[in-house]
A and B are shown apart, each in its own frame.
Chain A
Amino acid sequence: MATTRILEWLGRFYIVLLLGFLYLPIIIMAAMSFNASPFYQLPFEWTTDWYSSLWQNDQLIAATWNSIEIAVITTLISTVLGSMASLALYRYDFRGKKVLQALLFPPIAIPWLITGTAMLIFFFGVGIGRGLVAILLGHVALALPYVIVVVSARLQTFAPELEEAARSLGANQWQVTTRVTLPWIMPGVIAGGLFAFAVSFDQFVVSYFLSTPGQTTLPVEIYAAIRKGFTPEINAVSTIIIVVSMALMLLTARFFKFGGEK
């Protein structure tokens, strides 16, 4: 039994090491955004200059707004369309349903490099070209499968008898959907929406191929800045992004709990 004890403590120690490996670079990056030296020299000298100089960087501000706008629109469109599709897949039985469900996986499984370059070729060919519209088209398509999978998972816990009961009590299809089904799947819809926001807000590869100099998103702008040379300003934006996306994920985890166990 003594060896079991020792092994368990070793295991705990290992988890601490892994967490160190996962968080150390992120913490250092964030710390450097508060360090005065533009060349990342130590000793550490506290400053918030890099954050205030961000406000003067018009290009970065514009890209940030684009990112937020695209993420919000992507969330709205993909949540509505995705929930509709999940409802249909849940309610109805028809030939080819398995195929439709299987079709959700290529967008998730194919490397974004391939999806992104394929979109670039196609959008160019049909005249949509590059820019924010193309980026939005792409982001919604990437987010849709995630929304459908998450909402469908929530629907699995929904008893079809409830819809039948409402219908036999005289509710029409619209009333059944809005008063019975939707309230039940709401946690799944919200979790799906948060997923969609994260997929869009953190998306780099697809945006990279579809952006033009005037119309880019924040990650694309950061990539360009990294390749030009590092400045603590990139640390400052990166820190903001990481705080926003982690907060979003904590929210999603909360709603997932709601979805999974109640």
Chain B
Amino acid sequence: MADQLAIGSRRGLKPALPLLLPAYLWLTVAIFLPLSAMVFFSFMTDLPLAGKEWSFTLGNYAAFFSQSLYSTLLFSSLRLGLEVTLWCVVVGYPAAYVLAKVLKGRSREAIFLLVILPFWSNGLVRIFSWAMVLREGGILDTALNAVLPFKINIDLMYSYPAVIIGLVHSYVPYMVLTCYLTLQAIDDSLIEAGRSLGASRRQVLWRVIIPLSMPGLIAGAALIFVPVVGSFMEPRILGGRTGTFYGTIIEDQFVAVFNWPLGAALSFILLAVVLIILALAAPVLRRAA
């Protein structure tokens, strides 16, 4: 009824539809239907292509639970995600604090742009850059041996630390960005009030600054944790043989082994785990905000 009253109608779905439909149809065809198809395929024995025999099965999910390999790898991917996220907090939070509270004016703007700029360059290329640095006989090795009086051998390439370094490098700008936004919103007078009431620097940090910037920390953690758990390119390039994670196993199902139903089931399990973790983080985020 209301939509008949309004002149120059701003109510009702009908006038909005022609503008909305193209975009949402595209999203349906390329995102939502594929995700549903993935769930469907994960219950099949084989691809329903070229007249192959197929039937419904729970076998792909059973495979996950019966073979410890998959759950071990999922666990190590979750651990990788957690470690990378923690390192990003350790490296990124102090930088965000300096940007928000120490630097002022133009230098703050310029440095802020410099910090988030590499993040907009190709992730693959950044990982490849680290391969240049970490190789045996690579730049780090050569440079350290040129400076140090004794001979050392640095060969971080194809190791777990190399994967961590590459991933932290790729994702730390997220943490700087989200923490900067919340830290900047903290009123300086709150910090001064705390100090003048006799709180030490450390107390102000733990009782005022960190609690108030919690939403930024959690948003950053979610933005980092989710893609890292599903990463496969970074562990492949920097981890070599030690770089087998849950993501690389899923990749294998699709490009090497061609067991798509199993790959779909593994993907869906990953999606479910990620969603559960995000759901657990959501109330903390809402309470903090």
Contact = CB atoms under 8 A, between A and B. Distances in A.
Interface of A: 8, 11-12, 14-15, 18-19, 21-26, 28-29, 32, 40-42, 81-82, 84-85, 87-89, 91-96, 100, 103-104, 106-107, 109-115, 117-125, 137-138, 140-141, 144-145, 148, 160, 164, 167, 198, 202, 204-205, 208-209, 219, 222-223, 226-227, 230, 234-235, 238, 241-242, 245-246, 248-250, 253
B271 interface: yes
B105 interface: no
Interface stretch (B6-14, B56-64, B66-74): B6-14
B99 A15 contact: yes
Given A81-B26, A113-B250, A253-B113, A125 B10 contact: no
B169 A21 contact: yes
Given A28-B139, A41-B137, A219-B124, 18 more contacts: A26-B125, A28-B129, A40-B138, A92-B12, A93-B12, A109-B226, A110-B274, A111-B229, A113-B250, A113-B270, A117-B250, A119-B30, A141-B26, A141-B27, A144-B26, A238-B122, A242-B121, A253-B113
Contacts of A89: 16, 20
Contacts of B250: 113, 117
B19 A85 contact: yes
10 contacts: A15-B99, A19-B114, A22-B118, A89-B20, A92-B16, A100-B20, A122-B33, A125-B48, A167-B8, A246-B118
**Is chain A's binding surface mostly helix, strand, loop or mixed?**
helix
Contact of B254 (A117, A141, A234, A249): A117
A94 B13 contact: yes
B158 interface: no
B267 A118 contact: yes
B3 to A, nearest CB: 9
A29 B128 contact: yes
